[in-house]
Amino acid sequence: MKTTIKMCGITTLEDALAAVSAGANALGFVFSPSPRQVSADVVRSIINQLPPFISTVGVFVDEPLPFVLETIQRSGISMVQLQGHESNEYCQQIDKPVIKGFRVAAEVDIDLINSYQVSAYLFDTYVEGQDGGTGKRFDWALLQRRHFSRPVIVAGGLNVNNVRHLMEALSPDGVDVSSGVSATATTKDSAKMRAFVSAVEAAGQEPRLEKLAFGEVDILRDAFHDRPLVEVNGKQFLINSLTEQVPATPARLLHVAAQRVCEAAELSPGLKLVGEEDKGGVLLAAVSLLCGLPFGIARWYPSGLEGQVKVGFDCEYISGELYLNGVEPGDRVVIVDDLISTGGTLIGLIEAVRRAGAHVEQIICVAEKLEYAGVERVRNVTGLEVKTLVRVRVSGATSSVVSVAY
């Protein structure tokens, strides 16, 4: 089934027509206090100039019922979205289809939500003191494997870079975007709207990375579990398909690893990926292809090009120099790597990014060798946290996976 796309916070006819032209199925107009608040008369003038078969949604937050009913009549909207603490009884007094919004924090009350007899449920991010339009996403895992009695629409921090991951994680009936396609606090960016719709449509056409059901084989976990270890200079090296290409790396394994990185990261427009060319370069390119973000790379030899940053590093099996390309002052960086052992390479990468005048916002590694305490070392030296997805013990003749974080 095709995913419905709602673009919210429309304030002008120009933006409304651009959203429709981009492929939006529904337009949202905010009638409660907000930078994007509009009047019923303005919305009426916009709706009168829209093509047919476009849903128009009025967004209200804890407004008196008479105000809502009057606004429906004056504006001509076709649906109502209630984003406050409105009761089911309140919803039943509205003679238009109702979307009931719920703000998600740390848990989801399924019984309460399913008690609302409305047309659809919309899930947005809970932020203290804000009723919506936060530009922040919530933990989508809170909705996984839950049964809702009405269609589900997801909002909260969506943009062209992460909506694909949302659809693969939840397959919602609809998506709702506002700040992710904005030009300013009150206007939209037509290029961002077109790109967002294209991303939703592409995600609907591509094979999905299914969530693992109980008992299914996890090929990413298995790539690091019960694999041979080789000792070099007193260090245990893990031989596997993803980092060593032994045996050859299956395309699906690389895709799964890159997808898990995208899911674990908080990706948004304006970020840049960074990694090193040795074992992490293949993964870095795969992540870039999936999320659409550009990447810079640190090489083990100099190019002599202007702007290249040189740093020393000391990892578990070698010391040397890294030469970072493609990172500019002011860049917001997500470092991606395949495996962390002692953390020496990561520390060098972080230093290189900082010398380039950029800021490291996140670090994601697929696997972590627990015995070498690299995560702790990176934290102690740089003050940054490293998020790892597969935690592996390397002792004896073979490896063993302790836990996964996805």
Q: Known catalytic residues?
A: 8, 124
Query: Quick check: 153 and 172 in contact, CB under 8 A?
Result: yes
**Which three-class secondary structure string do you get for the chain?**
CCCEEEECCCCCHHHHHHHHHHCCCEEEEECCCCCCECCHHHHHHHHCCCCCCCEEEEEECCCCHHHHHHHHHHHCCCEEEECCCCCHHHHHCCCCCEEEEEEECCCCCHHHHHCCCCCEEEEEECECCECCCCCCCCCHHHHCCCCCCCCEEECCCCCCCCHHHHHHHHCCCEEEECHHHECCCCCECHHHHHHHHHHHHHHHHCCCCCCCCCCCCCHHHHHHCCCEEEEECCEEEECCCCCCCCCCCCHHHHHHHHHHHHHHCCCCCCEEEEEECCCCHHHHHHHHHHHCCCEEEEECCCCCCCCCEEEEEECCCCEEEEEEECCCCCCEEEEEEEEECCCHHHHHHHHHHHHCCCEEEEEEEEEEEHHHCHHHHHHHHHCCCCEEEEEEEEECCEEEEEEECC
- Residues paired with residue 151 on neighbouring β-strands, in sequence order: none
